[in-house]
């Protein structure tokens, strides 16, 4: 990875939390940044799909609308936050920045 790409990558934090996609599909959040996260799931999604995901940071619930940035069938999806309340965004930021 070149230096320019490294600057563009946001700080990520490892996290292992259950996630519920659209209230029915189970997944697990593996890492998170202030812009998005990676979710391990057996479900397949196409890039560009937008859906709701719920998960917890510590014991605090977080709900977000996300857009699939990339998909690895039967492995997981990288998603970007497209709608996140100010309160939930603060929870994510606080977790990522430690």
Q: Tell me: the pLDDT tens digits for 40-83?
A: 999 999 999 999 999 999 899 999 999 999 999 889 999 999 99
Identify the pLDDT of residue 88. 97
Identify the pLDDT of residue 10. 74
Q: Show Cβ contacts of residue 7 under 8 Å, excluding neighbours closer than 6 positions.
A: none
Is residue 1 one of the residues assigned to a domain? no
Cβ count near 96 (within 10 Å):
19
Is residue 3 one of the residues assigned to a domain? no
Count of structural domains, the chain:
1
Is residue 65 one of the residues assigned to a domain? yes
> Does 91 score more than 70 pLDDT?
yes
CATH of the domain at 23: 2.40.10.220
Is residue 2 one of the residues assigned to a domain? no
Residue with tokens 């995901």: 53
Is residue 56 one of the residues assigned to a domain? yes
Residue 88: which domain range?
8-97
């Amino acid at each position: 990875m070149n230096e320019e790409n490294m600057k563009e990558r946001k700080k990520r934090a490892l996290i292992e939390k259950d996630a519920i996609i659209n209230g029915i599909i189970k997944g697990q959040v593996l890492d998170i940044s202030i812009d998005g996260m990676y979710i391990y799931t057996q479900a397949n999604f196409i890039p560009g799909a937008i859906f709701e995901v719920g998960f917890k940071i510590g014991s605090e619930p977080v709900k977000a609308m996300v857009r699939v940035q990339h998909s690895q069938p039967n492995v997981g999806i990288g998603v970007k936050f497209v709608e996140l309340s100010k309160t939930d965004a603060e929870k994510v930021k606080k977790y990522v920045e430690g």
